[in-house]
Amino acid sequence: MEELLILVDRCDRKKGCAPKLEAHKKGYLHRAFSIFIFDHAGRLLLQQRAFGEYHSEGLWTNTCCGHPRPGERTKAAAVRRLQEEMGIACSLYKVSSLLYREQVSNQLIEHEFDHIFIGIAPGNPTANPVEVHAWQWMNLSQVCAHISAAPETFTVWLRRVFETIGFAGVHAWSERPATGAATD
C-alpha cells in the first residue's frame, strides 16, 4: 500500500490525504519535515540520497527529510524517520518552517509546508543503505561553498533553506540545542 501524505493549505491546516506519488506528480501542497543534525563542533550532518530514490537520487541534502503519516504528529514523525533513516536518536527542536514549490527529477514536484527541526547527534549515524548512499559531517561555510560551486549536486529544498534562512540563520541553529534556547 502506498504511503499517504497529509495535504494542507498555506497555513498548514489539514485538507485531506493523497498517495505520495500522486501528490508529487500533481504538486499538491503537503506537510513535510526537514531535520538538520549538528555535532558539538557545529558541523552539519549531510546525507547523499540513495540511488534509486523516486526523485533527487544521488543528491546531497540535509540529515533527514520525510512526511508525517495521517494521525501522526510532525515531531513524532521526525523522530521516527531520523531513527529509521540515519540510526540517530536525539532530542529535536522545531526552529522554522518553509513553504516552497520546486520541480525535482522524474517530472515530480515538491510542494511542501516544511517543518524544520534541529538536534545534536550523540555520535556518528548508522545510515540505512536503502535510503542513504553516503554521509559526511561538514562545516557550514563548506556547505555554502559547495552549494555555490555545484548547486546541481544538492537537493532543491536544501538550497532553498540556505537561500531563505541564510548562513547566519543556519549557523545560529547549530548553537541553539547546546544552549537550550530551542523550543519544541
Residue 175 annotated among the catalytic residues of the structure:
no
Catalytic residue among 2, 65, 152, 163: 65
184 lies in some domain: no
For the chain, the domain total comes to: 1
131 assigned binding-site residue: no
What are the tens digits of pLDDT across the range 126-182? 999 999 999 999 999 999 999 999 999 999 999 999 999 999 999 999 887 655 444
- What pLDDT is attached to residue 182? 41
Q: Report which of residues 165 and 107 the model is more confident about.
A: 165
State mean pLDDT over 48-71.
90
3 assigned binding-site residue: no
At residue 37 the predicted structure's pLDDT band, cuts being 50, 70 and 90, is very high
- What pLDDT is attached to residue 107? 84
Q: For the chain, give the DSSP string.
A: -PPEEEEE-TT--EEEEEEHHHHHHHT--EEEEEEEEE-TTS-EEEEEEPTT-SSSTT-EE-SEEE-PPTT--HHHHHHHHHHHHH------EEEEEEEEEEEETTTEEEEEEEEEEEEE-SS-----TTTEEEEEEE-HHHHHHHHHH-GGGB-HHHHHHHHHHHHHHHHHHHHHHHHT--B-
Q: Is the pLDDT of residue 56 over 80?
A: no
30 assigned binding-site residue: yes
171 assigned binding-site residue: no
- What pLDDT is attached to residue 183? 43
Catalytic residue among 3, 11, 112, 144: 112
- What pLDDT is attached to residue 184? 40
- What pLDDT is attached to residue 105? 77
CATH number of the domain encompassing residue 108: 3.90.79.10
Domain of residue 137: give its range: 4-179
What are the tens digits of pLDDT across the range 2-17? 799 999 999 999 999 9
114 lies in some domain: yes
Residue 131 annotated among the catalytic residues of the structure:
no
- What pLDDT is attached to residue 45? 98
